[in-house]
């Protein structure tokens, strides 16, 4: 299944064909997160990477890498020394300018990851929903970190009438992805669900048992687990306690895609569910989630594109596609992002152990992806 979503690089390919992607994030306090997310997209195979950030974040991010296109378009109350000097009309004019500047780029970009290092800001909260509402239909959108916080916070005040909720949950949820860690998942559950989820300790026991059984079976069948092979499993029983809560939350949110990070990553759209059981770093340093969010924005776009290109080709031949549907292709993109992130973090951990930091993991993203890619296509080079 996974091979279908992977592109082939050919001599006639052009710059941007494998992804023109954007991160909306980066503020005075946080500049590492958007950089990690964006540079991971480049290392993972995209062609062009953009970051839309606040003015105070722009210079540090530009200094990290000349490869990332940085737009300091986001006005932030937290970065204003004397906000009282502005009239209400002047503030509104500045915020509308932020919306327009991002919107002018939106049509040229294939996916947006919203949240890494974005911070929690009154002004950004007031116009973030307008930015998302301006995205074209079927736009890949990933909400991570502070992006999830804005969704939850808006819903607490406006319920289903909020612009972020309408744009992400009601409109085109098939193309939208939430990437919560355990704590963020519990916040989402508390905001949108009734009752309590399965206790974390109980769920982790099921996970430990599943992982042990999976690798035991793999070794019995193959005698050895190859580095380049992806370790993920589709769970047919959606009542399985490892995936049940994530499936139910997805169903509640209009079958949006969810990548729940944890001991194993649970990935579902409420109709299908996958467990990624790749080994990962035993040290949980900051930034690994940002790497995952960036790769999710990339590979889910590849999944969407692969389906649409195949459908167009078959349509021109008056044939019907009987293989994977678009929703599954996007979900497989999320699975691939999880697999590559976990593999890269594990390889980095073997080398660095307690000194592991996010740049060590990023160093392995490219080689890990290439090992997986070549395993599918049996090529030594692209």
Q: Is 139 within any annotated ligand binding site?
A: no
Annotated binding residue at 181? yes
244 is in an annotated binding site: no
Residue 216 labelled as part of a binding site: no
Residue 283, annotated as binding a ligand: yes
Q: Which two tokens stand for residue 175?
A: 């193309």
124 carries a ligand binding annotation: no
Is 184 annotated as belonging to a binding site? yes
- Residue 287 counted as an annotated binding residue: yes
H/E/C letters for each residue in the chain?
A: CHHHHCCCCCCCCCCCCCCEEEEECCCCCCCHHHHHHHHHHHHHCCCEEEEEEEHHHHHHHHHHCCCCEEEEEECCHHHCCCHHHCCHHHHHHHHHHHHHHHHHHHCCCCEEEECCCCCCCHHHHHHHHHHHHCCCCCCEEEECCHHHHHHHHHHHHHHHHCHHHHHHHHCCHHHEEECCCHHHHHHHHHHHCCCCCCCHHHHHHHHHHHHHHHHHHHHHHHCCCCCCCCCEEECCCCCCCCCHHHHHHHHHCCCCEEEECCCCEEEECCCCEEEECCCCCCCCCCCHHHHHHHHHHHHHHHHHHHHHHHHHHHHHCCCCCCCCCHHHHHHHHHHHHHHHHHHHHHHHHHHHHHHCCHHHHHHHHHHHHHHHHHHHHCCCCC
Q: Does 280 count as an annotated binding residue? A: yes
Q: Tell whether 252 is in a known binding site.
A: no
Question: How many CA atoms, within 13 angstroms, populate the side-chain half-sphere of residue 224?
Answer: 3
- Say if residue 4 carries a ligand binding annotation: no
Would the annotation count 290 as a binding residue? Answer: yes
Contacts of residue 375, defined as CB under 8 A and 6 or more positions apart, other chains included, come to 226, 228, 229
Q: Residue 281 annotated as binding?
A: yes
303 is in an annotated binding site: no
* 282 is annotated as contributing to ligand binding: yes
State the binding site for ATP: 261-265, 280-289
State the binding site: 117, 181-187, 261-265, 280-290
State the binding site for (6S)-NADPHX: 117, 181-187, 290
């Amino acid at each position: 299944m996974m091979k279908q979503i992977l592109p082939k690089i050919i001599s006639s390919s052009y710059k941007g064909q494998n992804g023109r992607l954007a991160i909306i994030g980066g503020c005075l306090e946080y500049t590492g997160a958007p950089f990690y997310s964006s540079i991971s997209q480049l290392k993972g195979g995209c062609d062009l990477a953009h970051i839309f950030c606040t003015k105070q974040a722009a210079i540090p991010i530009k200094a990290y890498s000349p490869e990332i296109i940085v737009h300091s378009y986001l006005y932030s109350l937290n970065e204003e020394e004397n906000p009282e000097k502005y009239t209400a009309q002047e503030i509104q004019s500045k915020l509308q300018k932020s919306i327009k500047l991002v919107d002018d780029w939106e049509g040229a970009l294939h996916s947006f990851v919203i949240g890494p290092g974005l911070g929690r800001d009154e002004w950004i909260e007031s116009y973030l929903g307008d930015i998302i509402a301006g995205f074209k239909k079927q736009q890949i959108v990933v909400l991570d970190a502070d992006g999830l916080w804005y969704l939850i916070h808006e819903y607490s005040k406006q319920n289903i009438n909020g612009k972020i909720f309408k744009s992400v949950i009601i409109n085109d949820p098939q193309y939208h992805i939430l990437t919560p860690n355990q704590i963020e998942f519990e916040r989402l559950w508390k905001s949108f669900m009734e009752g309590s989820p399965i206790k974390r300790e109980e769920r982790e026991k099921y996970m430990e048992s599943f992982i042990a059984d999976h690798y035991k079976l793999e070794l019995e069948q193959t005698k050895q687990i190859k580095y380049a092979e992806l370790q993920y499993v589709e769970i047919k029983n959606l009542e399985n306690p490892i995936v049940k809560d994530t499936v139910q939350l997805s169903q509640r949110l209009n079958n949006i895609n969810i990548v729940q990070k944890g001991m194993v990553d649970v990935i579902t759209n409420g109709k299908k569910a996958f467990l990624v059981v790749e080994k990962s770093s035993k040290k949980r340093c900051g930034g690994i989630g940002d790497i995952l969010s960036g790769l999710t924005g990339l590979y889910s776009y590849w999944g969407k594109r692969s389906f649409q290109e195949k459908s167009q080709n078959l349509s021109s031949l008056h044939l019907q596609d009987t293989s994977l549907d678009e929703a599954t292709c996007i979900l497989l993109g999320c699975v691939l992002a999880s697999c590559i992130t976990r593999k890269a973090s594990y390889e980095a951990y073997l080398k660095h152990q307690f000194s592991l930091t996010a740049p060590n993991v990023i160093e392995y993203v490219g080689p890990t992806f290439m090992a997986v890619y070549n395993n599918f296509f049996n090529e030594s080079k692209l």
